[in-house]
Amino acid sequence: MGSISEIPKTQRVAMSDTPETGAKIIEHPVVQPENLKPGEALVRLAYSGVCHSDTQLLGLCFTLNDPKVVGHEGAGEIVAINDPLSKLKVGDKVGIKFIADTCNQCEFCLDGHDMLCAHMKWSGRHVDGTFQQYAVSYTSQLTPIPEGLDLAHAAPILCAGVTTYKAVKEMGCKAGDWVALPGAGGGLGCLALQYAKYMGYRTIAVDTGADKKALCETLGADAWVDFKQTDDIVKAIKAATTDGLGPQGAVITSPRPEAYETAMQYIRPTGTVVAVGLPHGGAKIHCDVRDTVMLKKKLKGSNVGNRKEAIEALQIVASGKVTCPIEIRPFDQLNQTLDDLKAGKISGRVVLDLHK
């Protein structure tokens, strides 16, 4: 077992508390190296991204009366490890993802569909997550962070990045195709936009507001549609494509249920709509069956990517081809950040400095 000396006995963590107070930052014990189980590592987290789904996970913990340290976009350094078979070692920079553990043996794990494993554990739900300064993680799901990549910029890639990278791949488009990206100015959407550009697609950013328009244009969007300033969103998105037939693909990172229904209308024949954003309280997608069948339109769900895709997503960022627009806030501003996310006030991604 390897470890770094002077690991503290206590730390600051954000535990799920009550619906009224959100997450409560408290002093909490740090698991010591001698108490790590086989296959575990202790990671000193420097930063954690804040994800829209954290608001839902907090609610789930409240409902189940099962307090947990929430968060699932952590970046830091291994300070202790109990796994002689792992290539990872003390001092390595690593990331902690939404998927904390899987069986690695079932059909889905073997096919690279880690997120479908019946024994999967979530960071922030089944095990304590990344809103803490020292986190225990299963070594099999730790993601190496490329040399030279800033940890603050790496953190959001552990969920937002790998999720959007996977979703953009799921469209099955080819270079030069048009793709629509509802929610393009948000934390997921701004990354989906860049991964789409990286793959050679022509992009239609769909969102609202001058700030988000400016962000999308800075990130290279080929066209912009403000859904609040457009009387006919379907017509506007189709018109943005060269031939007016609509985009070949769409990745819906917006949590608005109507974003799905309009996508099935503006997607061109044989096109694919990829569902990512989760509406609060759930939603049903209503689409014309005849239109879907006769025009061979497709609707696909996409969850987070697997371990290999997480590595790829980070490598693309490290190459400079994708940049995550971030705002770094102190740990104490977690609840304010969650409120801002729910209100749709954040462009790009917020990362918490866990030691400020």
Task: Tell me the backbone φ, ψ of residue 326, rounded to 5 degrees.
Answer: -125, 155
CB 136 within 8 A of CB 288: no
Model confidence pLDDT, tens digit, residues 121-165: 999 889 999 999 999 999 999 999 999 999 999 999 999 999 999
Q: What is the rounded CA–CA span in Å between residue 318 and residue 16?
A: 33
With 0-12 / 13-18 / 19 or more C-beta atoms within 10 angstroms meaning exposed / middle / buried, residue 147 is exposed
Q: What is the rounded CA–CA span in Å between residue 53 and residue 71?
A: 9
- In the chain, list all ranges with CATH 3.40.50.720: 162-301
Cα angle value 334/158/143 (rounded, 5°): 130
Structure tokens at 313: 């997503």
Rg (C-alpha) for the chain, rounded Å, is 20
CB 321 within 8 A of CB 347: no
Q: What is the rounded CA–CA span in Å between residue 51 and residue 66?
A: 20
Structure tokens at 257: 């249920």
Model confidence pLDDT, tens digit, residues 256-278: 889 999 999 999 999 999 999 88
Q: What is the pLDDT, as a whole number, of residue 111?
A: 95
With 0-12 / 13-18 / 19 or more C-beta atoms within 10 angstroms meaning exposed / middle / buried, residue 270 is exposed
- In the chain, list all ranges with CATH 3.90.180.10: 2-158+305-353
Q: What is the rounded CA–CA span in Å between residue 220 and residue 240?
A: 15
Q: What is the rounded CA–CA span in Å between residue 77 and residue 75?
A: 7
CB 324 within 8 A of CB 349: yes
Question: Please, what CATH class does the domain formed by 162-301 belong to?
Answer: alpha beta
With 0-12 / 13-18 / 19 or more C-beta atoms within 10 angstroms meaning exposed / middle / buried, residue 105 is exposed
In CATH, 2-158+305-353 is 3.90.180.10:
yes
Q: What is the pLDDT, as a whole number, of residue 341?
A: 84
Parts of the chain with a pLDDT under 70: 1-5, 18-21, 62-64
CB 50 within 8 A of CB 333: no
